[in-house]
Structure 1
Amino acid sequence: MTDDQQAATDGGTESEYVETLRENRAEKDDFFAEHPQSPIPPEKRDGFDGLAYFDPDPAYRVEATVTVLDDPEEIDFETSDGRTITYRRPFRFSFEIDGDSYELSGYRQEPTDPIFVPFRDKTTGQQSYKDGRYMELEPEETLSDGTTIEIDFNLAYSPFCAYSETFSCPLPPEENWLETTIPAGERKPPL
């Protein structure tokens, strides 16, 4: 479970949740600024003042109903460097935002991997990274049809290729393009 995901589950009250989320964002900024494995090229780290985020908004923590696909289809993702990478699509998640219904697919390469949820929305290329954002879900128990899981868009992040072309990043498939605005999570990279 990532630190931000832990923040989502540990925060008992809304103010605790927001405070924990802000603390974890500060830790991520420190990692990006100083760690040798930061995606920010070393020559740009001196000018790095932290990632840009939408304000934490508990309204973008949604309960999603799970559909488990018994025979997960293989999906070829285009990547930022023109290659393709294959994932399986074992899950669909149905949820509501502002009274409207939406769906996102969840993908895995291996059955034990976190559930990869790449998406685009109406902030993509405007307020958020031009190629979309990612979320990872790590449920504590096996998902089954009709169960619910929390999807927290406040944890949406830009892929590493947003900071350096040396990374190859899967692009969200069209089935995960949301026809709504999700002003939550990371904003457009400040570089």
Structure 2
Amino acid sequence: MMPICGALVVALLLSQARGSLSPSEDEGGGGGGGVPSEWLLLHVVQGHIGAGNYSYLRLNHDGRIILHMRSLAGDADLYVSDKTLRPSFDAYKLQSATCGRDVVAVPGDFARPVGIGVYGHPAHEESEFEMRVFHDQTVAAETLDDKDSYASEDGRRNRKSPEAEEEEEEDDDFQEEESIFWTILIGLLKIVLEILF
């Protein structure tokens, strides 16, 4: 019985040591834990935002950009638009309003400059955030691969199956419904908070 318990304790200690030696997810710059090596770290932005307030940033980089934001304290939410430089929960194209890590992928075809709004959730007096801005270089590589496949001798094109296209459409519908749900919920919470305070 004792040798089995001893072996389990050693295995547990080894697994914990291996976890502490692996790179953390917060280390950025291509290849760092959880971030694909094709993503190039462009900027790291840190800031504080008061409850119910916005902090605005402007994105001028071309291509597909990934915004990774985490709340260090409180709860900061992310709103993105290529139509206004001051997006909010009333006017945005893309958003992430979780109670933790917020991620938004800005498509390469968005008009530049892109407006980024960081909102401090009213449940916290102040929110502190860190946003890492990545350039997704896989899109450029895929574009080159597509050009090569179009120029191939047999002229065949790599296309998605009808089933894959249907799944993408269903995912888009689900994300749109989820976005509408969160917009309505945030609006209701704002009204309730205004009535209470």
Q: TM-score band, normalised by the shorter chain?
A: under 0.3
Give the helix-richer structure, 1 or 2. Answer: 2
* TM-score normalized with structure 2 length: 0.27
Q: Rg: which structure is higher?
A: 2
* TM-score normalized with structure 1 length: 0.27
